[in-house]
Structure 1
Amino acid sequence: MFTRTTQVEIQFGDCDPAGIVYYPNYFRFFDNATAALLSAAFAMHKRNWLEHFGIAGIPMVDTGARFIKPSRFGDVVDIRSEITELGRSSFSVRHTLLRDGEVAIEAHEKRVWVVRNEAGDIRSAPLPEDVRRLLSAS
């Protein structure tokens, strides 16, 4: 399925007093990596694909990570993101964060394709066939 690698330079503000990345910031990195993955698959920026597909967003319904090695201010890490599963209205992403070519974090997330109803509430919607095709590409 579709894969993309995003490079991130760890900033001072990403770190805690111990000098390592404060763990919630990894989830921010992964959220950005998912947006970059979909933007690459759809060949357009997130603000454009939200409008193009008429969706409210792709909220996360499940996430988790296994932390293997810490990263510090100034490190440059690669986040390899891959679509691993396509459901009716959901998709799963696996993130592998590499530091110096070694696995530092393995993470996963499940997201839902959502639209707004007449009242403005969000509800899941089936993944469009062209989205399925693009996310299934190697």
Structure 2
Amino acid sequence: MDYRFKIRFGDTDAAGIVFYPNYYRWMDEATHEFFNNLGIPTDQLMAEKIATPLLEAHCVFKLPGFFNREIVLTTKVEFIREKVFKLVHRFHDGDTVLAEGYEVRAWVSLEGGRPTSQPIPDEIKEKMHQHLIGG
């Protein structure tokens, strides 16, 4: 699944290249877009007292990103387990890969005031399986 955006001036540092924390912000945005495109937007999940908190994140920076460039961030599913899933993100500027990263997230109920991991519903797993790497 693709998420497109333009690098804004405020996303860059004094050297004129993307300040690295923005890649993590964009991966988070792409994850929310991913679920939105599956037909289960984050606001709907939150209304149902469900969250997908981040357990782990990593990003490898290959080449710098620059102001006003349009970026395509491709998101795929690496794995889905009972309560945890991993999304892989690749940042493209045209044919050039700028960065690659991933997020590991849990499926969590917010009922009762304390976050508690829950099995990912089968219908959600089925939708996610359509975006498996190599699938």
Q: Same fold (TM over 0.5)?
A: yes
User: 2:106 maps to what in 1?
Assistant: 112
How far 1:71 moved relative to its partner? 0.5
User: 1:81 maps to what in 2?
Assistant: 75
Among 116, 120, 125, the alignment partner of 1:123 is 116
How far 1:55 moved relative to its partner? 3.4
State the identity as a percent.
Answer: 25
RMSD: 1.2
User: 1:20 maps to what in 2?
Assistant: 17
**8 Å CA contact 1:55, 1:113 repeated in 2:** no
CA deviation profile, 1:49-102 (whole Å, cap 9, x unmatched): 332xx2331111011111001101101110000011001101100000001221
**Aligned mates of 1:10, 1:45 — CA distance in 2:** 24
Q: Which structure 2 residues correspond to residues 7-46 of structure 1 after superposition, within 5 A?
A: 7-41=4-38, 43-46=39-42
Q: TM-score by structure 1 length?
A: 0.89
Q: TM-score by structure 2 length?
A: 0.91
Q: Which runs of 5+ in 1 are unaligned?
A: none
**Number of equivalenced pairs:** 131
Change (3 A) 1:62 1:68: same
**Aligned mates of 1:49, 1:40 — CA distance in 2:** 13
